[in-house]
Structure 1
């Protein structure tokens, strides 16, 4: 899709802004976070041994990302600084600003069989990987028939 960087038709630009704003309100938040458009983008998966969460947050200082696990709810929070030129400079005109900047908070409900004492979080190449082990009692095991 072609999108001009310089608005030539004010009515078309207002129509585009209205469609964009209405799409923001379509994503209703829930305990599992935003269905789309939230920052950081998340991939959440599970194996029989663990729950794996990947948060895509390039350019973040890992020390400034808060990761909390409380009663089966994982919370990621922090603030991403603006990287765009300052809009207050009268010589700067910002035409497109699609990079998220500001405070963020993502909340993920987890299954009941996780072990809150067995959690690891690693940040590498802009990806925060959180691994939460499941309790040993809930792991599948083979029972020998005698």
Structure 2
């Protein structure tokens, strides 16, 4: 006769797995595009002469956005207001973010805080920060 245990031998491993899944579910918020990473979505990249940051904030006015650079940290913040609903309409799905937001990007040490430009066009905020001349690669002639 084969006896079977009511509890699996690795019950603690099962509890740890369930705890990890629960923590993952609480720290990540689902969205229509999968797991949300924050609002606004951002692309950050570098070139030899600059740091380029793109923040996707459609439907906002440039006056509602605030860009700050302090001690090598770029902060993008603002507030998106909720659009008024149609009188008497029932909302079934409401996925558009509304409220205050803030994103922070730590920048490399070789940026020039006096050479920053920000441009908003077609729902995309583009921030370009030049690198210091001394940090840029240069060709040295060999005699």
> What TM-score results when the alignment is normalised by the length of structure 2?
0.75
Preserved contact between residue 84 and residue 97 of structure 1 (Cα < 8 Å): no
Kindly indicate which of the two structures has a greater share of residues assigned to strand: 2
Partner of 1:121: 118
Aligned residues: 117
Partner of 1:54: 54
In structure 2, the gaps of 5 or more residues are 1-20, 30-34
- Alignment partners' CA distance in 1, 2:62 and 2:56: 12
- Alignment partners' CA distance in 1, 2:54 and 2:124: 7
State the 4+ residue runs in structure 1 displaced beyond 3 angstroms.
21-24
Q: Tell me by how many angstroms 1:92 deviates.
A: 2.6
Q: 1:25 aligns with which of 21, 24, 27?
A: 27
> What TM-score results when the alignment is normalised by the length of structure 1?
0.73
Q: Tell me by how many angstroms 1:84 deviates.
A: 5.3
Q: Tell me by how many angstroms 1:63 deviates.
A: 1.1
Preserved contact between residue 58 and residue 125 of structure 1 (Cα < 8 Å): yes
In structure 1, the gaps of 5 or more residues are 1-18, 28-34
- Alignment partners' CA distance in 1, 2:139 and 2:36: 40
- Alignment partners' CA distance in 1, 2:47 and 2:54: 14
Deviation string, structure 1 residues 73-115 (Cα, Å, up to 9, x no partner): 00000100112517xx6x3311001111100000000000000
